[in-house]
Structure 1
Amino acid sequence: MKNLQSDLSSVVRLNIGGKKFCTTTDTLTQREPDSMLAAMFSGRHTLCQDSDKGYVFVDRDGKHFRHILNWLRDGVVPTLEEYQYSELLREAEYYQLLGLIDGINAVLNEKKEVDEFHTELTRTDIIKCIQSEKVRFRGVNLSGLDLSKLDLSYVDFSYACLKNVFFSRANLQCAKFRDVDAEASIFHNATLRECEFTGANLRGALLAGACLQSANLQDACLVDSSLCGADLRTAHLQNADLTNANLEGAVLEGANLKGAKLNNANLKGANLQRAYLSHLNLRYTHLEGARFDGANTVGVIR
């Protein structure tokens, strides 16, 4: 055994419960100067090496010590399972790494908030919520719920999972559905006037008979959706993907379809008067009986 009095840039070999690590005194002392490790390797204390190539032995489980070293090097809390955070927290407390302790607790609190936020809700829960003045279900998983015939006007559903939700005949005027996943949801005869569906996934959704006047559907995915008889007057459909969508008899008067994809879409009998259709490719779109009076058809491919 020999006395170690190393300078702050020297290499240190550690044996943590049988696991071998190699680092420097800079790493062990600079980020957490008040920790046990910083005190051990500050040069103020005499340390003893074992006989195995000069390793300093610490009688702790070495399972998570690499995360401790990486924290000391980079200041980044690792991504772990929740039970692993508890194990790492125990080690951080032993080594008195206050910054790492705070970081782990912040991650655990955030996970707790997310888990609580994603708790499954019932129709009754929704009814209670919408009785308050301002309702937000941002990021909530509501998949499969029956929310038909409810007054959900002005509710913010942005980023929520709304797969297979029943919104039939619901009042959703001015509701926000930004970037929602509403695949196969039912909006049959719903009021969706001035709703925001920017970037929404509405693949296979049923919107037949829905009122979507002035709704914003820019960049939305409406592949295989049904909009038969829907009222889309002055709706914003720029860059929307309407591939295979059924818009038979839909009212698109004054709607903006700039950049929309209409491959194999059914627009039979649709009202496209005064709609913006400039430079659209309608070659593979079904347009029998559609009305185009006053529509902007400059550069349309047919």
Structure 2
Amino acid sequence: MSLLRWFVSTSGERNFARQVDTLTQREPDSMLAAMFSGRHIICQESEKGYVFVDRDGKHFRHILNWLRDGVVPTLKDTEYSELLREAEYYQLLGLIDGINDILNKRKEEQELDTELTRTDIIKCIQSDRVRFRGLNLSGLDLSKLDLSFVDFSYACLKNVFFSRANLQCAKFRDVDAEASIFHNATLRECEFTGANLRGALLAGANLQSANLQDACLIDCSFCGADLRTAHLQTADLTNANLEGANLEGANLKGAKLTNANLKGANLQRAYLRHVNLRDTRLEGAKLDGANLLGAIR
């Protein structure tokens, strides 16, 4: 049985004895595998059969664990850099890929945690980097910016100021935009599916054909908003203020309208089948052509 003995030239001696199979099977194209393949003559200590390799042995236990189990250890970034140098020296391509995958994932996570400023957002728009999925943008002032077609899906947008911003066709899928301000913003054809907009201000906003299905719209203000042909299926509009809003042709199938204010709203040709309107304020609302089949009034 051939054994490997490891010596540290700068900080003392470390000894590791392992079977040849451990050193050759997982990474057959590595330098270690080549050393013990029998194809090369290697220097051994004649009495004990040890092989000397002049490398720092600090991380060699991780090398052996990788060769044995195929598991990349959990380390600090600086330690990964050291282990990466050793993996490159021994030509352990699988370990190199594993370390790089971890470092890249950590880098992506750090980028997601980075707080952006209004200036950062503007720079991103100017450079066509207009995807902010999953980012934390809470409290930013993004008013009056052209953010059309931007993807904010899964982002945290609490208390963000979007007043008068152009957000046409932007994506807000599953965002947390509680108490955000969309006053007079352009939100035509936006997607808010599953979004949390509780307490948000959307007064005067243009939401024509916007998709608000399954959204939490509790305590929202849509006063004077344009919601023509908007999709509001199963949205929760409890206590929402839609006074004077234009909901012509909007689909409110399954929407919850408990204590909602629809005074003076335009509900012509709106889809309200089986919707409970018993606790909804409808004084002065226009219901011409609305589908009220099975609605509770």
Tell me how far apart the structure 2 counterparts of residues 170 and 286 of structure 1 sit (CA, whole Å).
31
Report if aligned partners of 1:151, 1:172 keep a CA contact under 8 Å in 2: yes
Task: Return the offset for 1:187.
Answer: 0.5
Tell me how far apart the structure 2 counterparts of residues 162 and 210 of structure 1 sit (CA, whole Å).
17
* 2:103 maps to amino acid: L
* Deviation string, structure 1 residues 10-36 (Cα, Å, up to 9, x no partner): xxxxxxx99xxxx99877643323457
TM-score, normalising length: structure 1: 0.72
1:1-302 aligned within 5 A: 4=1, 29-35=24-30, 65=62, 69=65, 72-73=68-69, 77=72, 82=77, 85-86=80-81, 89=84, 92=87, 97-116=92-111, 119-132=114-127, 134-139=128-133, 140-283=135-278, 285-289=279-283, 290-302=285-297
Shift in alpha-carbon separation, 1:188–1:36, aligned structure 2, 3 A: same
Tell me how far apart the structure 2 counterparts of residues 189 and 211 of structure 1 sit (CA, whole Å).
7
* 2:166 maps to amino acid: N
Q: SS of the residue aligned with 1:124? A: helix
Q: SS of the residue aligned with 2:180? A: coil
* Deviation string, structure 1 residues 213-263 (Cα, Å, up to 9, x no partner): 111112222233222222111101122222332223322111011222333
Report if aligned partners of 1:68, 1:92 keep a CA contact under 8 Å in 2: no
Q: Which moved more, 1:205-214 or 1:116-125?
A: 116-125
Report if aligned partners of 2:136, 2:157 keep a CA contact under 8 Å in 1: yes
* Deviation string, structure 1 residues 69-125 (Cα, Å, up to 9, x no partner): 478546x65666645644654675677532012221132134324534654333233
* 1:170 maps to amino acid: A
Count of residues in Structure 1 that have an aligned counterpart in Structure 2: 279
Tell me how far apart the structure 2 counterparts of residues 216 and 109 of structure 1 sit (CA, whole Å).
35
Task: Return the offset for 1:183.
Answer: 1.9
Q: Which runs of 5+ in 1 are unaligned?
A: 7-16, 49-58
Shift in alpha-carbon separation, 1:79–1:207, aligned structure 2, 3 A: farther
Q: Which moved more, 1:33-42 or 1:237-246?
A: 33-42
Shift in alpha-carbon separation, 1:96–1:190, aligned structure 2, 3 A: same
* 2:164 maps to amino acid: R
Report if aligned partners of 1:147, 1:170 keep a CA contact under 8 Å in 2: yes
Report if aligned partners of 1:5, 1:43 keep a CA contact under 8 Å in 2: no
Q: Percent identity?
A: 76
Shift in alpha-carbon separation, 1:24–1:268, aligned structure 2, 3 A: farther
Report if aligned partners of 2:2, 2:19 keep a CA contact under 8 Å in 1: no
* 2:198 maps to amino acid: R
Report if aligned partners of 1:64, 1:88 keep a CA contact under 8 Å in 2: no
Tell me how far apart the structure 2 counterparts of residues 128 and 77 of structure 1 sit (CA, whole Å).
38
* Deviation string, structure 1 residues 188-220 (Cα, Å, up to 9, x no partner): 121212222222222221112211111111222
Shift in alpha-carbon separation, 1:127–1:61, aligned structure 2, 3 A: closer
Q: Which residue of 2 aligns with 1:12?
A: none
Tell me how far apart the structure 1 counterparts of residues 22 and 177 of structure 2 sit (CA, whole Å).
49
* 2:99 maps to amino acid: I
Task: Return the offset for 1:165.
Answer: 0.9
Q: Which runs of 5+ in 2 are unaligned?
A: 4-12, 49-55
Shift in alpha-carbon separation, 1:196–1:36, aligned structure 2, 3 A: same
Structure that is richer in strand per residue: 1
Tell me how far apart the structure 1 counterparts of residues 72 and 201 of structure 2 sit (CA, whole Å).
44
